[in-house]
Amino acid sequence: MTEPAKTRPVFRNINAFEDLPTYRLPPAGWVSILHRISGALMFVLLPFIVWLFDKSVSSEISFAKFKSAMNLGIGIYPGWFIRLTLLALIWAYLHHLIAGLRHLYMDATHSVSKEFGRSSAVFTLTLSLGLTVVLGAKLFGLY
């Protein structure tokens, strides 16, 4: 006589509001997801980046307009919103660069251990956020 098959749990519907907040993502997972988000953010804001570059290097008058846009705003967007958008771009660039270098280093040296992945992910998150804070302080005129 054969034994009855063991019953296994069946997960058919995952509720994003109940299940995802309790899931603990490792630091390497956060770096990977944020790497994709930062790349998408830079792509979406590419017209704004081109406008920033154009206004900052065209002439002295356009640079003065650029500086006034940072203080007074542009159209319906206040100056703090423009600076916050610039801060998001600074973070996106720094995180994408550092995470990309991490991935290249891991690919080149075959460093795929769990310990190295965790430590390099924590380093990536710390460095990108730290540099963003320093450059954000400069952007908002704290030094």
The reply to whether 6 falls in a domain is: no
Parent domain of 88: 27-45+77-139
The reply to whether 68 falls in a domain is: no
Query: Domain holding 84: CATH number?
Result: 1.20.1300.10
Q: Which of 122, 136, 104, 140 is nearest to 34 (CA)?
A: 122
The reply to whether 66 falls in a domain is: no
The reply to whether 10 falls in a domain is: no
Q: pLDDT confidence of 6, banded at 50, 70, 90?
A: confident
The reply to whether 116 falls in a domain is: yes
- What tens digit of pLDDT does each residue of 55-109 get? 888 889 988 888 888 889 888 999 899 899 999 999 999 999 999 999 999 999 9
Q: Give whole-number Cα distances, 72 to 19, 60, 61, 75, in Å.
A: 44, 18, 16, 9
The reply to whether 61 falls in a domain is: no
The reply to whether 129 falls in a domain is: yes
Give the integer Cα–Cα distance in Å for 48 and 33: 23
Give the integer Cα–Cα distance in Å for 7 and 102: 43
Tell me the pTM: 0.80
The reply to whether 7 falls in a domain is: no
Overall domain count for the chain: 1
